[in-house]
Amino acid sequence: MPRRQTFFCPCTRYFSAALLCLLAAACGKAPENGHGGMAGGPVPVSTVTVQEETLPVTLEYAAQTLGSREVEVRARVTGILQKRNYVEGARVKAGQSLFTIDPAPFEAAVARAEADVAAAEARSEQAAKDAARLAPLLEPKAISQKDYDDAVSAQAISRADLMAARARLREARLNLGWTRVESPLTGVSSRALKSEGSLVSGPDVLLTTVTQTDPIQVIFGVPDNERLKLRQDADAGRLRWPRDGRFEVSVKLADGSTYGKSGFTDFSDVRVSRETGTSEGRAELPNPDGLLLPGQFVRVVLAGAARVGVFRVPQRAVQEGPQGKYVFVVGAENKAEMRPVETGDWHGGDVVVQKGLASGDQVIVDGVVKLGPGAPVQVTPPAAAPGAAPAAPGSAPAPQAGGK
């Protein structure tokens, strides 16, 4: 059987070689570093040069208003409620009569006590005369020693009876005075809880309440995890408390407006609530117009603390990855360097960076989406962060920490 031979056409080899050349030209040369950046040159970016700053800190919490003083008005004596002497819901002054308890039984008790005092005074005077009359007769032994001692003892007993009668008179007069139920402080009255004709059994019955609204107090709760974080930052020197430990407090109302007057914190509880997991704080604010009412839900803003050694960068410069937040900075040889950062509060339109940056770092703001670690960059033009001097045109990027 004859052998089959295979022949190759020379044009086939030339066609394959030409196809390989076209594919190589279309693909171009791959980037050497394998990261972001377009072939043929560095990525144009804009930067801000950050400097270490001390920035004010504001803390905001939900709160509720409370009268600076709130008292329950109760009668001190038992009797029939004869009259209400105030307008419910109106302002009352300290010492103003709010209710009248029927005074007739107490007036009778005063009269009886006055009579008892008069009788005790007469007995005391008689006992004193008897003792004085017998005293000269004792030395010549005209009377026995026992008779004289009995006279002196009767005088002492009558004096004690007089003191007791006078005490009962004072008590009767007090009870008569307490039939006039007065406001213990100046404030806003509540509605009357008992009407005229009701039997009031002394302090067991609540008649009304009076609340002092100027100044007014604001109670707020600080979450325990936030309290611990603030304490750790303060111990590490990253947070500075107000000089006297008292925060200046302003109030945001339910409609979003800010109350026109501010105050200061005056109490911080060492206990953490089991129900809410917060520790209670309190502030006191002037309230001369009565705009704030007890029981209102508001928000408090605490000012006076400061973050130390932090940096400000525009929000668009901060990226989020699987390992957390990071920024790109211009590193050695004008290449992008990824820096993990720890962010804190907002300051205006900027993000506060607490860890991860150093003074003089050039943080890349625009062009970030085209970057990867090690990508070559071209800064055009560099900008300065708020409060920092702008970099001179054409100046070299700031040296990196550690000599990089």
Confidence class of residue 1 from pLDDT cuts 50, 70 and 90? very low
17 domain residue, yes or no: no
**Are residues 276 and 258 part of one domain?**
yes
Gap between the Cα atoms of 390 and 374, Å rounded = 25
**Are residues 112 and 171 part of one domain?**
yes
**Are residues 98 and 62 part of one domain?**
no
**pLDDT tens-place string over residues 133-190:** 999 998 888 889 999 999 999 999 999 999 999 999 999 999 999 999 999 999 999 9
pLDDT the model gives residue 345: 79
Q: What tokens does 398 get?
A: 């700031």
**Are residues 222 and 297 part of one domain?**
yes
pLDDT over 70 percentage in the chain: 84
Q: Which residues of 90-104 are buried (b: 16+ CB within 10 A; e: fewer)?
A: ebbeeeeebbbbbbe
232 domain residue, yes or no: yes
pTM above 0.95, yes or no: no
**Are residues 286 and 168 part of one domain?**
no
Q: Where are the beta strands (DSSP E) in 121-247?
A: 180-182, 187-189, 199-201, 206-223, 239-240
31 domain residue, yes or no: no
Asked whether the beta carbons of 208 and 98 are under 8 A apart, the reply is yes
Asked whether the beta carbons of 352 and 305 are under 8 A apart, the reply is no
Gap between the Cα atoms of 222 and 231, Å rounded = 12
47 domain residue, yes or no: yes
**Are residues 90 and 190 part of one domain?**
yes
Gap between the Cα atoms of 330 and 226, Å rounded = 34
pLDDT the model gives residue 139: 87
Gap between the Cα atoms of 181 and 95, Å rounded = 9
Confidence class of residue 347 from pLDDT cuts 50, 70 and 90? confident
Domain span including residue 140 = 103-177
Can you give the CATH number for the domain in which 300 is found? Answer: 2.40.30.170
Close Cβ partners of 61 (under 8 Å, ≥ 6 residues apart): 220, 221, 222, 281, 299, 300, 302
Using DSSP's 3-state secondary structure scheme, residue 231 falls into helix
Number of domains composing the chain: 4
**Are residues 107 and 97 part of one domain?**
no
Gap between the Cα atoms of 20 and 398, Å rounded = 46
Is 70 exceeded by the pLDDT of residue 311?
yes
Can you give the CATH number for the domain in which 171 is found? Answer: 1.10.287.470
375 domain residue, yes or no: yes
**Are residues 345 and 395 part of one domain?**
yes
**Are residues 186 and 87 part of one domain?**
yes
DSSP secondary structure code for residue 333 in this structure: G
319 domain residue, yes or no: yes
**Are residues 86 and 153 part of one domain?**
no
| Stretch among 201-210, 228-237, 336-345, 373-382 having the lowest mean pLDDT | 373-382
**Are residues 294 and 352 part of one domain?**
no
Can you give the CATH number for the domain in which 367 is found? Answer: 2.40.420.20
**Are residues 169 and 185 part of one domain?**
no
260 domain residue, yes or no: yes
6 domain residue, yes or no: no
Can you give the CATH number for the domain in which 193 is found? Answer: 2.40.50.100
Find where tokens 């208003």 sit: 65
342-350 mean pLDDT? 84
**pLDDT tens-place string over residues 27-82:** 434 344 444 444 547 899 999 999 999 999 999 999 999 999 999 999 999 999 99
Last residue of a domain, one of 144, 169, 204: 204
